[in-house]
A = this chain, B = another copy of it.
Amino acid sequence: MKPNKISEAVVRRLPIYLRYLTHLQQMHVHTVSSQQIGKTLDINPAQIRKDLNAFGDFGKKGIGYDVGYLIEKIKQILKINQEIRVALVGVGHLGHAICNHNAYKRDNMRIVAAFDNDPKKQGETVAGLTIQPLDEMNQTIAEKQIRLAIITVPATAAQHVADLLIEAGIEGILNFAPVTIRTTQDVTIHHTDVTSSLQSLAFYLN
């Protein structure tokens, strides 16, 4: 099925399934039902079956899903069965936290370059990476075959940084700056904004 036929909500649930399935695998659990996944993740089992059925017939009726097989399939669907290199721009507290977190993960998404426009930070290291100036972005992204980028700069700088990244050939951006990034190019941009997340949480207050 083509990516554009799948809703973003489904695409955002797949990593959640993957995380739980990986946990099960570590616990040496070999088979799991949509009921069990649903109970743990607080998602309707019918929704889970529908999400997965959009990509193929992975389960066995009355038995459930083979954990290892489903992990491989979801990794294929998400295209993370290959190494994907990531750049991070803006090494403040948040950028720091993300680099450190990434350094000890054992998956295929890897931050391999960090940039900051502050000369005082350039040359310092974060999670084993030397912080580089923004004018090295083009060359580094090409040389290291970096495909995704994380933006953790202030709101006022985010659009400019995104433009530079897209010009350098980045295919997708995860933006933490509290501003909507626009592009005419064929680049996927996801926004993660703490303020917006808190505001949507407030909706559910009694």
A180 at the interface (CB under 8 A from B): yes
- B148 contacts A202, C-beta separation under 8 Å: yes
Report if A194-B3 is in contact (Cβ < 8 Å); known contacts: A109-B202, A202-B172. no
Please count how many residues in chain A sit with their CB below 8 Å of the partner chain's CB atoms.
62
The B-contacting residues of A in range 130-186, CB under 8 angstroms, are 147-148, 150, 171-174, 178-180, 182
A27 at the interface (CB under 8 A from B): no
The B-contacting residues of A in range 61-89, CB under 8 angstroms, are 77-80, 84, 86
Cα distance A71–B9 when bound, in Å? 26
User: Apart from A148-B201, A172-B201, what 6 extra A-B contacts exist at CB < 8 Å?
Assistant: A11-B203, A15-B197, A19-B195, A78-B203, A147-B205, A173-B201
